[in-house]
Amino acid sequence: MITAYGKIIKGVGGSYLVDTADGLVECSARGRLRRTELIPMVGDRVSVSVGKDNTGSIDKICPRKNFLIRPPVANIDILLIVCAAASPEPDFTLLDKLLAIASGKDIEGVVCVNKTDLAPGEKAGEIADIYKRAGYRTLIACARENTGIDDIIGLIPGKTVAFAGLSGVGKSSLLSLVTERSLAVGGVSRIERGRHTTRHVELIQAHGGYVLDTPGFSRLEVDGIKARDLRLLFPEMARLEGKCRFRGCTHTAEPDCAVIDALDKGDIAQSRYDSYKQMYEALKEIKEWEENK
């Protein structure tokens, strides 16, 4: 047996595929990991014992930078949130929720506006501008016309990049172009909600890094985020921290609020503020014992 180090790129049942410097190794988890109730996740950095038949066992899971429960994946560097410029119409509430979750997990959120061929006029640019002004990296792409793909590829070297967004926005089409492999693509239904087509969590090796194709991101919950901290997860609001009249201002109704002033001046997008208030009101209803359970 030899010891190797690598990253779990796929997990099905109790079997894991680990990418090591010497190639892919099919592994199971050692019993002591099961006894500590630490379950390996896709994205984990691990040490493995490898036998002559190129199968092995996972001996140790390295400390995680971050992890998500749904979908179960660890050590994401970038969350590329794809929205369609049209068909379906952008869901700004979901987009802003995903960006806040990413920030809370120490993941860089990047916005990608896709399907520009279906959008009238400058709509795609206007959507992108909302997030540029907020402080996010933004990309504009069109899978059908094969544009903007190089910008997405530029995010990947040395990183693990997860694609997120509602079904029907073109995630799988963009991933197929980025990875040069065919991924199952679901159509858009009559209510413009596409069908989930990906069946398991898997990291795909591409361009010196990994990309993640998985369902479930639209169902992510704002777990672990407290209402009083939400303002810090909106960069355009975090920049104004300490400039309100009241310390710990919630930016919802207080007088002399720097965020509300910025909103009135057009420096903060109305859609972003509406998302913040909706999330704040929902988080405010969560009791402290529920936050800590």
Please check whether the domain covering 2-63 is classified as CATH 3.20.20.80: no
CATH 1.10.40.50 is held by the domain 227-291: yes
CA distance 22 to 42: 19
Neighbours of 17 (CB within 10 A): 18
Q: List the chain domain ranges.
A: 2-63, 68-219, 227-291
Residue whose C-alpha is closest to residue 71's, from 19, 14, 10: 10
> From the centroid of its chain, how far is CA 23?
27
DSSP letter for 249, please.
Answer: -
Could you name the CATH architecture of 68-219? 3-Layer(aba) Sandwich (3.40)
Q: Which of 172, 168, 141 is nearest to 155 (CA)?
A: 141
Kindly give the parts of the chain with pLDDT less than 70: 34-37, 181-199, 214-223, 287-293
Strand intervals (E) in 207-255: 209-213
- Burial annotation 257-281 (CB, 10 A radius, 16+ → b, else e): bbbbebbeeeebbeebbebbeebbe
* Residue 99: strand, helix, or coil: helix
Q: What's residue 43's pLDDT?
A: 97
**Predicted local confidence at residue 289, as pLDDT:** 44
pLDDT in tens, 144-183: 999 999 999 999 999 999 998 888 899 889 999 999 864 5
pLDDT tens for each residue of 88-125: 999 999 999 999 999 999 999 999 999 999 988 899 99
**Residue 116 pLDDT:** 93
Q: Quote the pLDDT of residue 215.
A: 61
pLDDT computed for residue 213 by the predictor: 72
